Amino acid sequence: MQFDVETLQGNAITAYSDTDIAVNGRPFAHSLLIGFDGLLEPWPTQGSTGPSAADLAALAGKPYELVIVGTGAVQHFPEPAALVPFMQRGVGMEV
């Protein structure tokens, strides 16, 4: 059996902890949007207990197929109503 190594063509989460995340080996200690296509930008969330409904509403119209929300050491779920626009478009949401 032969195995082939796949080369990653985009952003990859290479490490994480309760306080930060590393993308392609570069650490970040703030909220950010990570796109497979190269997008890597700060995401100014409003709350310390995870994204608010307004934070998620700003993402609802973007062409994402999957949204992964990390909330640190303690898992905080968004308000159920904030998830509706994602469900209506068939966008996966993982908290």
CA pair distance 4, 93, nearest whole angstrom: 31
- Position 3 scores a pLDDT of 66
- Position 48 scores a pLDDT of 65
Digit-coded pLDDT (tens) for 1-16:
666 666 667 888 899 9
List beta partners, residue 32: 42
- Indicate the DSSP class of residue 91: -
Other Cβ atoms less than 10 A from the Cβ of 78: the count is: 21
Digit-coded pLDDT (tens) for 17-51:
888 889 989 999 888 888 877 778 888 876 667 78
Average pLDDT (80-91) is 89
